[in-house]
Amino acid sequence: MLSSLFARRSDVQDPALWTPPGTTVVQRYRNTLGPLEGAIVLVYTSASDRSSSYAAACLGCTYRADRNDRRVRLTEEEAADLANAHAAHCRAINRGVPAIPDDTGAAQIVRSRLWSKRPHGTSPHPVRLTDFLEDRVDLQRDDDFIKQAMFEIVRTEGHFLKAAPAYSGTGTRFLVQPHPPLK
């Protein structure tokens, strides 16, 4: 009886240990609020690509960063510096682990990111999985979900997103189509 009492686990995940699905967390920072428990700021990368791009996200406020002030993707060191600076100034309390959106909500996050990439002019914008790095904490999905959501958008909104064979001959590349010209 006593062993089962101690063997139970809480259903609430500890943000200090949590890793969003589809990511690899490489560093964590906690903001300081005196006697209150401050929010955790994560430094992470995509679980499928641990070498090129990193992001920082606060679990207490809406802070997200995946590019530096020159609009270049973050290195691990740059993401850590941003996370540490944010943790030093953020006064958000620990809100816990974000709720996992349902598939419809997650697909809308994918669509919103694609919409933000929609170019003006005549050339389509190539989409990479790293374009979703900033969204991974809220999205909580892996690469396969993102690809499937994009295939669905291609199927239903081909004027907005197109799929083509990858240049390497294996896989698919996605292209956000430019805004239609004004008349």
Domain extent listing, the chain: 1-97, 103-176
Rg, the chain, Cα only: 19
φ, ψ (nearest 5 deg) of residue 36: -85, 155
Name the strands in the sheet holding 64-65, side by side, starting at the edge strand that comes first in the sequence.
Answer: 23-33, 36-46, 55-58, 64-65
Contact 31, 92 (CB under 8 A): yes
Residue 154, number of CB atoms within 10 A of its CB: 17
Residue 67: per-residue pLDDT:
92
pLDDT tens string 16-74: 899 999 999 999 998 876 656 788 999 999 988 766 799 999 999 999 999 988 989 99
Q: Cα torsion at 139, 142, 147, 150 (round to 10°)?
A: -10
The overall average pLDDT reported for the chain is 88
pTM of the model: 0.84
